[in-house]
Every structure is written in C-alpha cells, then in structure tokens.
Amino acid sequence: MSDPKKLFIKTYGCQMNVYDSERMAEALGGNGYVQTQSADEADMILLNTCHIREKAAEKIYSELGRLKGLHDAKPDLKIGVAGCVAQAEGEEIMRRQPMVDLVVGPQSYHRLPAMEQAVARGEKALDTEFPEEDKFTELASRPKAARGPTAFLTVQEGCDKFCAFCVVPYTRGAEVSRPADRIVQEARDLVAAGVREITLLGQNVNAYHGHADGLAGLIWEMDKIDGLARIRFTTSHPNDMDSALIDAHASCDKLMPYLHLPVQSGSDRILKAMNRKHTAAEYIDLIARIRAARPDLLLSGDFIVGFPGETDQDFEETMALVRAVNYGQAYSFKYSTRPGTPAAEKPQIDDGLATERLHRLQALLTEQQRAAQDSMVGRDVSVLFEKKGRLAGQLIGKSEYLHAVHAIAPPEAIGEIRKVRIVESVTNSLRGALVA
C-alpha cells in the first residue's frame, strides 16, 4: 500500500474560506490526500485566496513566487489557487505563473477531485464557472472524525447588494441559500463529532432564505439539536435584520449575545455613494430595537474611511455614530480600490488624510472595546474551553460575548462550558478563575 499523498492548504481571509478549506481537504481525501501543516512535505499546495484586502491578487502572485524554490527542488509538487482571487484572475494566474497546475473558483471546488486527477495526468485544470449544480449537494457527507468544540457552517453564499466598494458579487455570485434540512443534518454530524458551538456563515447571512422563516427559522431548527450548546452567525446586513431574527436574540437561549452588523459609514451622503440603501439614523434605530430585545448584546461592526468623496464632515458623522452606538468590537479599514467596482472609478482622496482619519477612528474603537472588556471584570461568564494555553494548567476559550478568556482549569474541561469569574482585563483577552 502506497503512502498517502500530503496536502497543504494556506487559507486567507474570512471564516467562510476556513470552512471552504475544510471541505476542499475532505474532497481531496477521496483522492488519497491527508492534510499536513508543512508546505515543505506537501505533494500538493492549495492557496485558498481572498479578494477583500488591498492588492489581494498581487499578494498571491508574491506568495507563488516564494513557492518557486520549493517547486524547483520538488518538480512533482502540484500547486493550486482557489477562492476569490482565483475567480477574479482565472487563466491569468497560469499565464503569469506557469508552475500553477490548478485554478478553481469558490463555487466549483466540489470538482476538485476530478481536477486533481487531470493534473495527475499532466494536464492543467481551470474551473471558474458558476455551475448549475449545488456544490454542497455534490460534496460527500462530512467525515465523522473527532473535531474541536467549535465549527463554522456555511448556509448562504453570494450577495445581491452591490455595495460600490465590494467585489463579492463578482467573485461569489448572486445570493444562494442552502436548504435548511441539509444544514441541520451537517450540524448534527458536527455535534456528533464533538462540536458544541456552530457559527452560521454567509456573505449576507441574514438574507438566508433556505427556510420558510428565514435565518430565524433555521436558528430555531438548530436550537432543537441535542448537544449543540451555542449558535452564532456572521456577517449580516442591516437591511435584512428582520423582526423574527431580533426576537430570536431575545428568546433563543442557544443564540449568543454577540452580533456583527457592519454599517461602514455614519454619513448619509457616503452611505448613498456606497449603495448601502440605509441611513445612519435607520441603523441607529435598528440597534436600539436589537438592544431592547437583548440588553446585554455585544455589538461588532465594520467601517471604511477615506471612501471617494469623503469630507471632514462625513468623517465626523462616522465618529458621531460610533459614539452613539458604542461598539464592543469593530474592524476598520482605509478604503482601497477593487478593480471592476463602481467606487474604483471615482477620484480618490489623499492617502495621508485617509490614514489620519483611520488612526482617529481606531483610537475611538479601541477605547470602546477596552471599556467593554473592563466592564466584564467581576462578572461571571460562560466559557467554552477550546485548547490549552501557554502557561501550565491554563486553558483558553470564548465567552458568550466572544471574548477570549484564559483560566486555570483541568484538561478535561476542553469541550465543556464552565462558569468563570473574570478577574482581569488585558490586551485583547480576559483572565478568569473557575467558579466552584
């Protein structure tokens, strides 16, 4: 019996790419591949790419350049590029870097086994189509091997919003939702393998329509799964945050009090230019409704500064919105162009000015995040322990509010939810002690 072939996957970007990488590894497992954590010992390397960050394509070309020495030393090494950069660049990747054997878009990776077989025959394999068949239906059932206590589960892909700054509709396609029964079965399989917390994923997850009652209906179906203790979802759009989903935050015990709800700007003028189709006041009113339903909810968000045409007044309106909402966590970015998007064609603002604004915004968001963490000191929280920490006897996990928490705890607590009293707030985490 021959030794198994080894697969190394480097994953860029969002949680959805993490999920996609897992499914790619499972698909190639049928072709005799096992995963390795070392590129040096791999028989195949897959770069699962993301197109959200600035100059994403050029960064992948640079990474491919770094792999050239490894490929020269090991000519039989197969190299593939998957994900959103693969979708956007397609055949150009192979033209610029001939050592690449395989290019596959995010909607076609169920075809990886056949593509790998073609590569094994000495052929090049390219698939960046938006296939008619459902990739999740085509993929085999997930392996029953033991897993860690948390998992991502994609329920929806694509986006129909066409925000002026975003490339997702072009790389992931239109909004598509998986049928609820298939999601619930995959969730049951994950729980049987040891998972206690599942995060439902989608580019626009609260636009999910694979259940008659939308995402809220799916959450209530997930609520029935014995052994599943926690449910989360990300990423949401304000325009799809309906009353049923808000009510679920109020009444579903398994749905955690954490919500990522991006707004991007506090200026109505910029929101219109972004094609967000909501105003700052509508967003603030929505947050008030959600917090009325779940007063202890920790809110997260996304912001872009330096969008084309942004004035000092526009930026100050963003700062005002941040102060009004008060975020427990948030991500902020300086606008960067994405080829093919409407905003890329507009006159860009001065980079130094955008940088200055970003630093001011980040200082405010960091202040709010730190205040949210500090407010946890003295409180008892529920921590799902996931792994060992750096110190002897230390375990690390997440609270219901998604704060990283470390505490001295027995190793058998991994995979369990324990009550922890927070005793100290440190940079980006909390220190706690088990409550007897």
Give me the architecture of the 258-375 domain, per CATH: 2-Layer Sandwich (3.30)
pTM of the predicted model as reported, rounded to 2 decimal places: 0.85
CATH topology of domain 5-127: Rossmann fold (3.40.50)
Question: What is the CATH superfamily name and number for domain 380-434?
Answer: Nucleic acid-binding proteins (2.40.50.140)
The CATH code belonging to domain 141-256 is 3.30.750.210
Domain ranges within the chain, ordered by starting residue:
5-127, 141-256, 258-375, 380-434
pLDDT band at 14 (very low <50, low <70, confident <90, very high): confident
Judge whether 394 and 375 are in contact, CB under 8 Å: no
pLDDT band at 170 (very low <50, low <70, confident <90, very high): confident
Task: Evaluate if residue 44 carries a pLDDT over 80.
Answer: yes
Q: Dump pLDDT digits (tens) for 132-154.
A: 666 677 676 666 667 899 999 99
Element (H, E) at 366: helix 351-374
Q: Do domains 141-256 and 258-375 have the same CATH topology?
A: yes
The 3-state DSSP class for residue 68 equals: helix
Q: What are phi and psi of 48, to 5 degrees?
A: -95, 105
Q: What's the confidence (pLDDT) of residue 94? A: 94
Q: Of 129 and 81, which is predicted with more confidence?
A: 81
pLDDT band at 426 (very low <50, low <70, confident <90, very high): very high
* Residues above pLDDT 70, as percent of the chain: 96
Mean pLDDT of the chain: 93
Task: Evaluate if residue 391 carries a pLDDT over 60.
Answer: yes
Q: Dump pLDDT digits (tens) for 190-227.
A: 999 999 999 999 999 999 999 999 999 999 999 999 99
Torsion 337-338-340-342 (CA) sign: negative
Task: Evaluate if residue 40 carries a pLDDT over 80.
Answer: yes
* CA–CA distance, 25 with 28 (Å, rounded to integer): 5
Query: Average pLDDT in the 251-279 region?
Result: 98
Helical spans, DSSP H, in 47-90: 56-73, 84-89
Q: What's the confidence (pLDDT) of residue 133? A: 62
Judge whether 219 and 252 are in contact, CB under 8 Å: yes
3-state helix vs strand vs coil in the chain, percent to 5: 40, 25, 35
Look at 72-76, 196-200, 302-306, 370-374 and tell me which has the smallest mean pLDDT: 72-76
Query: Average pLDDT in the 392-409 region?
Result: 98
b/e sequence 37-58, b meaning 16+ C-beta within 10 Å: eeeeebbbbbbbbbbbeeebbe
Q: Dump pLDDT digits (tens) for 267-285.
A: 999 999 999 999 999 999 9
Rounded to 5 degrees, what angle do the CA atoms 15, 19, 20 make?
110
